Chain A
Amino acid sequence: MRVWLTKAIVRRLLITQSIVAVIELMTGPAGSNSQPVYGFSHSFGESSSFFGLFRTQRWVTFFFVGLICWGVASFWISQGSRVRKSVHDALAFPRAATQKRPVRWGAMAVLLGFAIILPHVETAPFWQAAMVEQIAVYVLLAIGLNVVVGFAGLLDLGYVAFYAIGAYTTAWVTGALPTPALFHHALNPFFAIPVAIAIVMIAGIILGAPTLRLRGDYLAIVTLGFGEIITIFANNLYGITGGSLGSNQIPHPSIHLGPIKYIWGLAPVPYYYLALGFVVLFIIIFSLLERSRVGRAWTAIREDEVAAESVGINPLKYKVMAFAIGAASAGFAGVLTASQLIFIFPASFTLQFSINILVLVILGGMGSIAGVVFGAILIQTVTEFLFHSPPSGYQPQDLYIYLGALLVAMMIFRPSGLIPSKRRQREIRLSEAEHEGHLDEVLTGDDT
């Protein structure tokens, strides 16, 4: 037997081929009750194009895809560290450049400029709507959840509750709920913005004060419950929230300031600019906070709560603060959604939603604002693209399979996210190194 034909390489071949077979099944035609085997047999047997060269059966194409993956994986395992090192060396100059302040500010200005002209470049109605409803809202939610999960290190599985409270507050302030309006007569949704933000922050304090004494898993379970409670309230308090039908009479926001009159109508672009303004505002506030004493206190609590307490940090106070501040952007996102779509109903505020936001934060990079913004934009854009023009074999319900697979892959290969926060990355590496006993490697590593 040749030397290269070792056991591991054969095993890897089998693994890649079985993964490919699973993908083949997933992307193949769906079976039905009358023909349960159809999906299975046709997933492999159906005729398809072999990379556009000639037609053959699906399994042949996929077998070759598997072989390529196997080759790449084998190469990466044997030569990966060398490749990574050379890439790392090649990127030394651009990386040093990004550390410089003018470069950073310039890049941010370019990105902001791009975001401003984007609606004039992409004029397809589908994408303009998606930019507000699917991207801007998710970015707002992701940067808010990042304060809780990334900065303070608290796992919140009920974050959607704050979004729901924001949306329902909008309906309440504008008199679109069965219950009388907050200030007795219907107001413009604009006034809902400060009210909603204030109410979600109070909700954050009310939820946080008793529950944030809990740690880790227990906190996650309680927040999960909180999210469910809010949805169930919205669903069942018929006389107050309108029940499962929700509310569908929320007015669009408008400005009547002397001679200035502007009405946000049905078109999504004006909402896009409104959202963009608030995204920028929240990013500025949150990044200032991160670099302030408050941000450092959050990091201290996250890294060692007992030590943090020993230098006079009140953990509960800072955790509640993280909850309340993180909730603020969700509150605004709620106002945005409610006033743009003019209808809200409880079914849109589910646990699934909280988890989706969490996935964006984890993929983007917990604790890194740039990371979560990028992650949210990337994932949501791809999701919308798949929804808009699905490739052959893709069904909308497959989305979560791919997202799940992506999450698993990220956790293995890049647990600190796409654009990791330096400190988070260090924390993860330190804790891994502690288990595996190669602390020196981490401490002399490239990022320190």
Chain B
Amino acid sequence: MIIPCPYCGDRDHSEFRYGGDASKQRPQHGTGDLRAWHDYVFVFDNPKGPHTEYWQHVLGCRRWFRLNRNTATNETGVLA
């Protein structure tokens, strides 16, 4: 799988670290709602299809960025 790094261009995915679902909204700092924290930490939409996610180019520019990828085909789209 080729991942388009916004700084370095197209690189093999083995140069990157996967950072997980980027569509999640972190609860406000100090939030006491344990259900909101539980859902943020443990629960995933895990869609079969379009997915917005974090990657870090650890063996390159080390930049973190968001990427659109289709989990049913691994096609990567534009940077989100």
Partners in one complex: no
Q: Using CB atoms and an 8 Å cutoff, list the residues of chain B in contact with chain A.
A: none
